[in-house]
Amino acid sequence: MTSKIRIGALISGGGTNLQAIIDACEAGGIDARVVFVGTDNPGAKGLERARRHGIPTFVVDYAEIIRRCGQAPDALPLPADADIAAITTKQSLLGPTVPAEKKGRFVVSRVAAEARLLAEMAPYRPDLLVLAGFMRNLTPYFIDHFNIDPGFPRIMNIHPALLPAFPGVDGYGDTFRYGCKVGGCTVHFIDYGEDSGPIIGQRSFPIEEGDTLDTVKKKGLALEWLLYPQCIQWFAENRLQVVTITHTLDDGRVVQRRVVKVAQPE
């Protein structure tokens, strides 16, 4: 039995994954306690789930911050330690074809929001941050502040597709519309790209002829509620390690892949 870790959760919507995590913590399936639930969306229905379990909540209204940034980017309060140019270079959410001005506005608004998130989170001293249907990308500003040790990532995300297929905001929709015969969900650590971090766990399900987008989502969510608590428990048991494996291909090229190793239980 490990001691309980402190989990912070960020959500944007209904919070069924949050519920699965809270329930698993309360039932002893995860050796952890959810110490706060934060959101970018003041109307997030999942906040009510947190309140029902006596978990503190907070809102950082991203839409409002982005609107203010659009009106007067220079008036937005930015943290003193934010080097916007360096963060823009480091992030890989927006590619080289995106105009510099747009990239700059994106980074400024997100960093302003993320500084607020970090300030709200700090008093709760979370060991792990879980993104549970949090529909905002995090910049290197936030990631580097939270992942104090770069070799020990502490931000997890659940994505509704078998990554690296179908990153983005509509994983099940994209899977279904593509005509895939198999769908799934992925839990991964966050890195500087969109849904591109090292994969911790995946679950898959068949997509049959009679399936609709609705039934695909239902099948997927049911697996998410099992997969996310499982991956969090591995973290709580200190069994996860990210390793870089180097391969030399037949043509001499050297490629690297980042793999999450799950150690056997002690």
Catalytic residues: 159
> Distance (Å, rounded) from C-alpha 185 to C-alpha 224?
6
Tokens of 261: 């190793």
Q: Nearer to ligand GAR by C-beta: 82 or 202?
A: 202
- CB count in 10 Å sphere of residue 247: 9
CB of 165 to ligand GAR, least distance (A): 13
Residue from 46, 126, 140, 183 in contact with ligand GAR (CB under 6 A) = 46
**Three-class SS state of 79:** coil
* Under rule CB under 6 A, residue 160 binds ligand GAR: yes
* Under rule CB under 6 A, residue 17 binds ligand GAR: yes
CB of 108 to ligand GAR, least distance (A): 22
Residue from 171, 184, 197, 201 in contact with ligand GAR (CB under 6 A) = 171
CB of 246 to ligand GAR, least distance (A): 30
The alpha helices in 136-212, defined as continuous H runs, are 140-146, 171-178
Q: Which residues contact 85 (CB under 8 A, 6 or more apart)?
A: none
**Three-class SS state of 92:** strand
Bridge partners of residue 9, in order along the sequence = 37, 130
> Distance (Å, rounded) from C-alpha 45 to C-alpha 57?
12
CB of 14 to ligand GAR, least distance (A): 4
Q: Which stretch, 82-90, 111-119, 156-164, 248-256, contacts ligand GAR (CB under 6 A)?
A: 156-164
> Distance (Å, rounded) from C-alpha 37 to C-alpha 50?
7
Residue from 8, 9, 10, 16 in contact with ligand GAR (CB under 6 A) = 16
Which residue do the tokens 């994969």 mark?
199
* Under rule CB under 6 A, residue 183 binds ligand GAR: no
Which residue do the tokens 């906040």 mark?
47
CB of 13 to ligand GAR, least distance (A): 4
Q: Per-residue x/- marks for ligand GAR, 205-244, CB under 6 A?
A: ----------------x--x--------------------
Contact set for ligand GAR, span 131-150 (CB under 6 A): 132-133, 135
Q: Which stretch, 55-63, 77-85, 93-101, 157-165, contacts ligand GAR (CB under 6 A)?
A: 157-165
* Under rule CB under 6 A, residue 40 binds ligand GAR: no
Bridge partners of residue 10, in order along the sequence = 38, 131
Q: Which residues contact 246 (CB under 8 A, 6 or more apart)?
A: 254, 255, 256
* Under rule CB under 6 A, residue 184 binds ligand GAR: no
CA angle, corner 233, sides to 19 and 35, nearest 5? 50
- Name the phi and psi angles at 240, rounded to 5: -100, 135
Q: Which stretch, 82-90, 103-111, 129-137, 239-247, contacts ligand GAR (CB under 6 A)?
A: 129-137
Rounded to 10 degrees, the C-alpha dihedral 149/60/108/99 comes to 100
* Under rule CB under 6 A, residue 14 binds ligand GAR: yes
Q: Which residue is nearest to ligand GAR (CB)?
A: 133
Chain residues binding ligand GAR by CB under 6 A are 11, 13-17, 46, 132-133, 135, 158-160, 169, 171, 185, 221, 224
